[in-house]
Structure 1
């Protein structure tokens, strides 16, 4: 791996791989390849094969050295993790033995000023994980005040979302908001931080990042795609980093793992057979040693489940929250 990648620490890496339980001859999907931490650990199992997916071309390029050293057992694909079932089909895989995903922005992306993810590093207001589509600057320039308020409230859980949206709209009348510093300064005039609290712009930046990359829709779709490709006995392991993500994973597994007793009032109603057996009744969280070594791990939660031989459940309808395409076409 490259020097930057080798410094990256996979959050809950040991716990994730233990929950995945890779075996000799098994095939696994690392749905969010990043710096390759999970893939590298899986490849330590002799005969295990990994297909690594990432929408970030820089992450894929950073993994070429690991591909070379894997003796043909690692394949990297530039794609969204919501398309993991399509990636499997393209690789000639009807089913796999495990899927692991580390949801959200990576430390490498946060630490690259030119990617525009962090208000602590001056850079263009970009925030895209991939190489195409509207940037955060485009959203800030195009979205109405109401749309901005909804985006910041829903995806950032920012109580002052209306004030922030109003300040953004007022500021962009004078000059385009093109840098991370410019946006952070605008937000800081509305959201007042107390000592030892997070930076005033944290929730607004989180909201725009999630919105630009359609992260929550991607997660919904990735979970259902994993359900389709996992063999009976195959493992799904998800590490998430904030409450919105964890809630989606928790609800998905609860629904898929629910054993219904039926109803004596409606005996004719067919009950879906559980497609997963939940392995983590409570989420696994980092220990003190990991938190000390990697403070960014503090909000991480790991959930895992094992695929049963039941049919795939009906695809859930995506939530009716703001969507990038609607905002960018002005509708």
Structure 2
């Protein structure tokens, strides 16, 4: 059975956007045109693909299965067409990245402005989230994650700082009032501002020194969404609400200004920096290849 490629593309756009209007704004077409395209696909296949209500559009079971298969297939088609890009003087097109919020804050600011200046014909789209994402199924060209989150069939390229640390800190006034911890276990007697992932997991605070690793799960008055709401924990710590535990680079401006004081600095755990990753079994689109080359060149310059 043959189906119109444009109509299938319309279905994918609507299913991913969970709505005709949002999909229309992204695609630059009319919502009515997308609706007609989806109806044609449903009529040809003889099955409903979308549940439509006045508030939302959600794929049916059949629609979800079709979406799961079309996402990777469309990616292959786009990559194949992108081969033509290699014959251009400069690469052009769209590069879609899925990255953790920490990378938006700590890694990409040193890369994106220079990359956009070097490749004015490339449009960079970045989705920031800390949950696990199937970048192929979700239509991304690549993602940024730390090594423990990388799948084995992905190619990984180092990006950003190669060594990072988690830091603990609090406002000087808070520490004057509650005392300065001398050991990670002392944090159990302090107000600690914790983070929780979207999965519901609340990661323990990890410390290490001289080959010894300790995991501490302190309590406290504030629990925020890790990544998205981390700045609220930082602001609360500056105001004296308790101890914050976050990337050292995230806290560094506040440590340098003195509004936050480092705690247990000789226990701060080191870990390897993030990686840009992408499928190893697909053609690499020209915009992604340009981004990889730019990142590698920047790393060589130090």
The structure whose residues are more often strand, as a share, is 2
TM-score, with normalisation over the residues of structure 2? 0.27
